[in-house]
Structure 1
């Protein structure tokens, strides 16, 4: 698959990682702040993720060809990319099964940086993919003639449960990792502590509806994933950026002049 920004966009994937809150309140999600030097969403708070590499498609083709597989190559590749990017950016080994310890995850992260692909890491540690840990949640393709690199991003959900796992920022593309409730992230944006692009804000508003990971997963499984392409609506007094009404989002429009689009 082409990785240029043509009609299909640049394929990308991200995981929204949940953990239980220590105080028993709303679940927390893991967010990262991108380096201000990054071309796309520089300085913005986002979920861990990145583009789908050719090696992800190669491994995805192997997964799709498996005798018991019900997933196509593209979907498998996106889930693999989400798993790879999460290990690379946070040190968390999600979507994997085998003898996984904190020390092995740290070593695997280093090996991934050297190899640049997930398959050699799986082979080295005797791990296997466990895509059942990953739940498709959304797909965003925010086309914009003012953005030179357009990403077609698939979002997934995963759960850490107790969340008693260390995370560490990679210091290359990102400058900070932090846990917060979805509502907490929205409040941080209101006070200016973090900045959010349009898709991240809408996803946080949707995530804030849920009192648990199980609730989020149940909604994700009940609502088929549709590609969300934001549109400008000029029918009212002021231009609005709008999205689909039936994709599970409580807020489906925002004044265009207030939108941060990457």
Structure 2
């Protein structure tokens, strides 16, 4: 059977706080999007040919994609060195190739600043299916105002994992099954360093949720050994996300 999953990448940018848990960079997708419409997600998108040209491996192409998409969707410069200009987001929106902009402005990529965290590849048939690599990155020391990408993101914000989970539970926000599971995992950590150490201690294996019958109900399940504190959810509630 042909695999029609679209290669993609997502970046979890974490900002340590003086008191309290770290804040995460999240966007709310517009209701017009074909995938996860109106949902809160981490910045990310599909890996394109230009991303691959800047990398020597699929994992590094995913890193390039995650960096580029984060800039496009929020204006936050992560994984870049040599003082990138504030105009980078606007230039990307204007259709300028990422590689050309890096060369023009003398900006380098710090791909190792992105820590592998997870890989999700749902097998259920949706309008679009993605094979997504998730990375962690520390927020830059100085971050200006967030600038959500018009037409794709209704908003962008810094918010803790626990706060997002509370909003979803109260019906004030929407999130899909992989995002919720990753938020629960991220809510365990008090700093970026804790999250990075946890990621390093667990293998990055492809997660393809499956349906399991238990206790007279159907559950959507994921593996138990990949660092997630919650590994099942009732199918009825999971598919609503």
TM range (shorter): over 0.9
Matches within 5 A, 1:173-252: 173-252=152-231
Distance 1:163 1:98, change over 3 A: closer
Q: Please, which of 67, 72, 75 is the counterpart of residue 91 of structure 1?
A: 75
Structure-1 separation of matches of 2:148 and 2:212:
38
The Cα shift of 1:211 comes to: 0.7
Alpha-carbon distance in 1 for matches of 2:58, 2:179: 23
Residue in 2 that maps onto 1:44: 39
Q: For each residue in 1:189-236, what CA deviation from the matched residue of structure 2 results, as whole angstroms up to 9, or x when unmatched?
A: 111121010000000000000011100000111112010000000243
Extract structure 1 runs of 4+ deviating beyond 4 A: 161-164
Is contact 1:18–1:161 with CA below 8 Å preserved after alignment? no
Quote the Cα distance in structure 2 between the aligned partners of 1:261 and 1:53.
30
- Offset at residue 165 of structure 1 (A): 3.0
Shift of 1:59: 1.6
1:118 aligned to 82, 90, 98, which one? 98
Structure 2 gap ranges (5+): none
Alignment of 1:141-156 (within 5 A): 141-145=121-125, 147-156=126-135
Aligned residue in 1 for 2:53:
58
Q: Which runs of 5+ in 1 are unaligned?
A: 1-5, 65-72
**Distance across 1 between alignment mates of 2:165 and 2:200:** 24
> What is the CA–CA distance in structure 2 between the aligned matches of 1:83 and 1:195, rounded to whole Å?
24
- Alpha-carbon RMSD across the aligned residues, in angstroms, is 1.7
Query: CA offsets, 1:9-47, max 9 Å, x none?
Result: 1011010011123x5111110111001010100000000
Aligned length: 241
| Equivalent residues of 2:77, 2:140 under 8 A apart | no
What secondary structure is seen at the aligned counterpart in 2 of 1:39?
coil
1:154-169 to 2 correspondences below 5 Å: 154-160=133-139, 162=141, 164-169=143-148
Cα offset, 1:117, TM superposition: 3.0
